[in-house]
Amino acid sequence: MNRRENLKLLFTGSVGTGLLLTGCSPEQQALPPKDLLSGGTIGGRTAEEKQRDQELLSDTFFTDEERKKLTTLVDVILPKDEESPAASEVGVVDFMEFMMKDQPDNQTPMRGGLMWLDFEAEEKFAKPFNELSESEVITIVDEVAWPDKAKPEYEGAVRWFNMLRNLTCSGYFSTEAGWKYIGYVGNKPNAWDGIPQQVMDKHGFKLEEKYIPLYLKPEDRGTIVQWDDEANIIG
Amino acid sequence: MSFQIKNSGEAYDVIIVGSGAGGGMASKILSEAGLSVAVVEAGGDFDPAKEEDRTQLRPPWESPRRGAGTRIRPFGDFDAAIGGWDIDGEPYTRKNGTEFDWFRSRMVGGRTNHWGRISLRFGPNDFKRASIDGLGHNWPIGYDDLKPYYDKVDKLIGVFGTKEGIYNEPDGFFLPPPKPRLHELYMKKGADKMGVPMIPARLSMLTRPINEERGVCFFCRQCNRACQVYADFSAGTCLVHPAMKKGKVDLYTHSMVRKVTTDEKGKATGVSFVSKVDMKEYKLKSRVVVLGASACESARIMMNSKSKTHPDGIGNGSGMVGRYLHDSTGTDRMAIVPSMMDRERYNEDGVGGMHMYTPWWGDNKKLDFARGYHIEYWGGMTQPAYGTGGSMNSMRQYIKDEFGEPSQNGGYGIGMKKDIRRLYGSTMGMSGRGESVPMYDNYCEIDPNTVDKYGIPVLRFNYNWTDQEVKQAKHMHDTFEEILTEAGGILLGSKPGPETKYGLLAPGRIIHEVGTTRMGDDPSTSVLNSNCQAHDCDNLFVVDAGPFVSQADKNPTWTILALAWRTSDYIVSELKKKNI
């Protein structure tokens, strides 16, 4: 039994019961959960979703050579600086590997762009992209990274680089390091009590007077609400 | 909740098909009246308080796709709603080259696991549009018939808002609203200059507790992921599960209803369904059948319930089942606000939706289209996930460099990384959601050539927008441009023109489809009477949005809930009187 069949057994038998399918001989038992690949979405998954994540995680799209090109490129797009790590350090290439399989329409344009890199590297420097120096890499990137001033013959490569840039940013800012860099401080329980006063002042805003008594007061969040017959809150 | 199969011998007082807003409300009211109830749901059970069902507060790195949408969760990998526009093995088709997209959620609570919790009452005018503009038809009931039920729904489920005294936007029993966010105040500045009203939103999240059973909102902006403390409304957490705890309610999950069964005289006797677990057919019997499977799914079941007495399907003596299908109109626009760049950071999550909105303010007598729309607002320092930092190839020009010159679009490197950080939280946008005119020629019907994987014939849609909706969408975009510009924003993208119907989204996309089993006093032009009882089968009722004669520019859920409560009261009273 191959891995895919194993996965099918593991998940399709479990609809509604949470139990693994039984009924096959001992050597054909489904994989125990501990043998599953890690990295699938956590929380509230259906059997179909678990199976799909496992299948995608067990397939490989990029070749080693392609991964090497991507590692170079994502670190050009989002390099390390004094405040934050480089894209390759936070798993951006692994994220792209998964997304190629999850949204397969991107596979051909992505692979096409990575192949074009070698063509361009040969034309300009007579060697494959993965053997270029840093400054040679930048020479090629500069041809395609600026959509408004790129030469018309690079139109297709510009489109590919836009996709690469977008995916790099998605993969970067959706990590803990990305959150820290961008300064996102939400996703935790709190009691929203409006915009901080200094921000209101800076942007020149005041709350409308008539609503001030009506807005939620955080101290009331523990008390069950009561209305009178006219729908006024009285407790 | 484990899957259960009952023998066909046992009869219930009532079978309810579907566990969304309508079915959920019916299960609560009917079981509280002492009736025995079976709820038959096509999807699985779901309880966000259980750790295994929880997606709330998960960071994007707990998803390999970082929260991007999938086929079964098109609104994101952590969205609570399971199903989507395209369900494996459950197709639907379209006719005459027309468009209709059908969003379904296969789970306890149905699409109440997805919606934005915008909870607006229909106003007095919304029930009598034909009298105002001569288009479509009036409802056989009016605001006064539903008002007591809206009041009860407010108290049972909870909705925040403010009393405004606007005639066609009736006030209710409101919880205190949250204060606005920064982008909402920018929008207000623009709206004020144009004389467009903007008031606190009306959303069904508990800013204060309403009972001991449900927790209070802790402001994570993730209502679409379902709340583990039940601080937002969904039919599973607030209606179906409480009903199961208190009353005689059996829940049948993974059960796909094929048809309503009938006796010789044409009375409903129960339902026949396919269990998705063993793919076998089962039958349940009851004195009353209540359909709450969604406007289109209930119409499908009725049209598929053919018999000698109901040759065109149960309840379909008029041929009106499936007719007058209509969805809300919708289109959107977005801008970037230079004075919101380089914002100070703070936790701006708030509730899972807007804190302010615009109710319809226009006078259609002075406009070239018949009906209005409300405006929803979005923006702010939302959770970075899949998509964040995107579009630098077109957005970077809005950042001024150190010499005050616009930056070059695109690029790479530490400078671009910094620019993404500068831009974060500086975009905002708005969406119009409007009323369309119900048309006889917009409909769903049974496709004679296609069945789903359970062998049940599927729906085929035929739907065209009229000039009324197209002109309304144009008005939306004119308004959006003015508000966004007056708010200090630079418009992004381009204004859609007539070649795209002014950006009007395809029918079905707003997920407010209604009208397929409409109510009316005349059995030859309507499916149900004003109590949502089938004209030609007195023990069959519909409690979803199928009975709506017209869909106002409001979100339909609050009216589904009020109407389902009223219908349930009527069922109890008719059973007591032995009329059914």
Q: How far is residue B124 CA from its own chain's centroid? A: 21
> Which among B299, B293, B282 is positioned nearest to B18, based on CA atoms?
B293
- Asked if the C-beta of B400 comes within 8 angstroms of chain A's C-beta atoms, the answer is no
Kindly determine whether residue A186 and residue B212, on different chains, have CB atoms separated by under 8 Å. no
Single pTM value for the model: 0.95
The pLDDT of residue A34 is 62
CATH number, domain of B18, equals 3.50.50.60
Domain ranges of chain A: 3-58, 64-182
Residue B102: give the domain boundaries: 1-46+90-158+233-325+440-463+514-580
Give the torsion through C-alpha atoms of B28, B33, B35, B39, to 10 deg.
-10
Q: How far is residue B75 CA from its own chain's centroid? A: 14
The pLDDT of residue B9 is 61
A–B interface: beta-carbon pairs under 8 A: 270
Take residue B122 and report the two structure tokens written for it: 């229909």
pLDDT in tens, B191-221: 999 999 999 999 999 999 999 999 999 999 9
Take residue B536 and report the two structure tokens written for it: 């030609």
Q: Interior CA angle at B379 toward B375 and B385, to 5°?
A: 130
Going residue by residue through chain B, which has 580 residues, state the pLDDT in tens, using 9 for 90 and above: 344 554 556 799 999 999 999 999 999 999 999 999 999 999 999 999 999 999 999 999 999 999 999 999 999 999 999 999 999 999 999 999 999 999 999 999 999 999 899 999 999 999 999 999 999 999 999 999 999 999 999 999 999 999 999 999 999 999 999 999 999 999 999 999 999 999 999 999 999 999 999 999 999 999 999 999 999 999 999 999 999 999 999 999 999 999 999 999 999 999 999 999 999 999 999 999 999 999 999 999 999 999 999 999 999 999 999 999 999 999 999 999 999 999 999 999 999 999 999 999 999 999 999 999 999 999 999 999 999 999 999 999 999 988 889 999 999 999 999 999 999 999 999 999 999 999 999 999 999 999 999 999 999 999 999 999 999 999 999 999 999 999 999 999 999 999 999 999 999 999 999 999 999 999 999 999 999 999 999 999 999 999 999 999 999 999 999 999 999 999 999 999 999 9
Distance CA B404, CA B406 (A): 7
Q: Let me know if residue B187 belongs to a domain.
A: no
Alpha helices in B78-201 (DSSP H): 129-133, 143-157, 182-194
Q: Distance, in angstroms, between B356 CA and closest chain A CA?
A: 12
pLDDT in tens, A18-47: 333 333 444 444 555 566 788 999 999 999
Q: Distance, in angstroms, between A182 CA and closest chain B CA?
A: 5
Distance CA B140, CA A19 (A): 50
Distance CA A141, CA A128 (A): 14
Taking CB atoms and an 8 Å cutoff, what residues of chain B touch A17? 2-3, 277
Kindly determine whether residue A79 and residue B417, on different chains, have CB atoms separated by under 8 Å. yes
Q: Distance, in angstroms, between A216 CA and closest chain B CA?
A: 5
Residues linked to residue B333 through DSSP beta bridges, in sequence order: B430
The pLDDT of residue B250 is 97
User: In this structure, which amino acid lies at residue B312?
Assistant: D
- Give per-residue burial for B70-82: e unless 16+ CB within 10 Å, then b: bebbbebbbbbbb
Kindly determine whether residue A165 and residue B412, on different chains, have CB atoms separated by under 8 Å. yes
Determine which of B343, B388, B416 to mutate to test the interface with A (most A C-beta atoms within 10 Å). Answer: B388
Q: Distance, in angstroms, between A194 CA and closest chain B CA?
A: 5
Distance CA B182, CA B186 (A): 7
Report the residue of chain A nearest B61, measured CA to CA.
A175
Contact at 8 Å (CB) between B141 and B127? yes
- Asked if the C-beta of B162 comes within 8 angstroms of chain A's C-beta atoms, the answer is yes
Report the residue of chain A nearest B47, measured CA to CA.
A44
Take residue A196 and report the two structure tokens written for it: 């901080």
Nearest Cβ partner for A170 among B82, B345, B386: B386
Contact at 8 Å (CB) between B76 and B52? no
Determine which of A182, A198, A200 to mutate to test the interface with B (most B C-beta atoms within 10 Å). Answer: A182
Report the residue of chain B nearest A226, measured CA to CA.
B210
Contact at 8 Å (CB) between B511 and B103? yes
Chain B 491-550, residues with CB within 8 Å of chain A CB atoms? none
Distance CA B137, CA B324 (A): 10
Q: Distance, in angstroms, between B316 CA and closest chain A CA?
A: 34
Burial (Cβ within 10 Å: 0-12, 13-18, ≥19) of residue A193: middle
Kindly determine whether residue B59 and residue A176, on different chains, have CB atoms separated by under 8 Å. yes
Q: Which residues contact B187 (CB under 8 A, 6 or more apart)?
A: B198, B356, B377, B428, B430, B483, B484, B487
User: Taking all residues of chain A, what is their mean pLDDT, rounded to a whole number?
Assistant: 90
Nearest Cβ partner for A39 among B64, B253, B349: B64
Mean pLDDT of A53-68: 97
Determine which of A19, A193, A215 to mutate to test the interface with B (most B C-beta atoms within 10 Å). Answer: A215
Determine which of B179, B382, B453 to mutate to test the interface with A (most A C-beta atoms within 10 Å). Answer: B179
Contact at 8 Å (CB) between B379 and A143? no
Q: Let me know if residue B544 belongs to a domain.
A: yes
Q: Let me know if residue B337 belongs to a domain.
A: no
* 3-class secondary-structure state, position A171: helix
What kind and span of H or E run contains B37? strand B37-40
> Which among B386, B387, B385, B403 is positioned nearest to B395, based on CA atoms?
B387
Taking CB atoms and an 8 Å cutoff, what residues of chain B touch A192? 178-179, 219, 347, 349-351
The pLDDT of residue B241 is 98
Q: Where are the beta strands (DSSP E) in chain A?
A: none
Nearest Cβ partner for B182 among A41, A148, A195: A195
Distance CA B454, CA B276 (A): 8
Taking CB atoms and an 8 Å cutoff, what residues of chain B touch A57? 64
Report the residue of chain A nearest B200, measured CA to CA.
A211
Chain B 184-243, residues with CB within 8 Å of chain A CB atoms? 185-186, 189, 200, 207-212, 216, 218-221
Q: Backbone dihedral region of B217: left (phi > 0), alpha (psi from -120 to 50 degrees) or beta?
A: beta
Nearest Cβ partner for A231 among B88, B160, B173: B173
Determine which of A96, A170, A190 to mutate to test the interface with B (most B C-beta atoms within 10 Å). Answer: A170
The pLDDT of residue A14 is 38
Q: Let me know if residue B78 belongs to a domain.
A: no
Determine which of B113, B412, B424 to mutate to test the interface with A (most A C-beta atoms within 10 Å). Answer: B412
Give phi and psi for B184, each to the nearest 5. Answer: -70, -35
Q: Let me know if residue B31 belongs to a domain.
A: yes
Contact at 8 Å (CB) between B97 and B182? no
What kind and span of H or E run contains B270? strand B268-275
The count of structural domains within chain B is: 1
Taking CB atoms and an 8 Å cutoff, what residues of chain B touch A100? none
The pLDDT of residue A3 is 53
Report the residue of chain A nearest B171, measured CA to CA.
A231
Kindly determine whether residue A214 and residue B65, on different chains, have CB atoms separated by under 8 Å. no
Q: Distance, in angstroms, between A1 CA and closest chain B CA?
A: 24
Alpha helices in B391-519 (DSSP H): 392-395, 414-423, 467-486
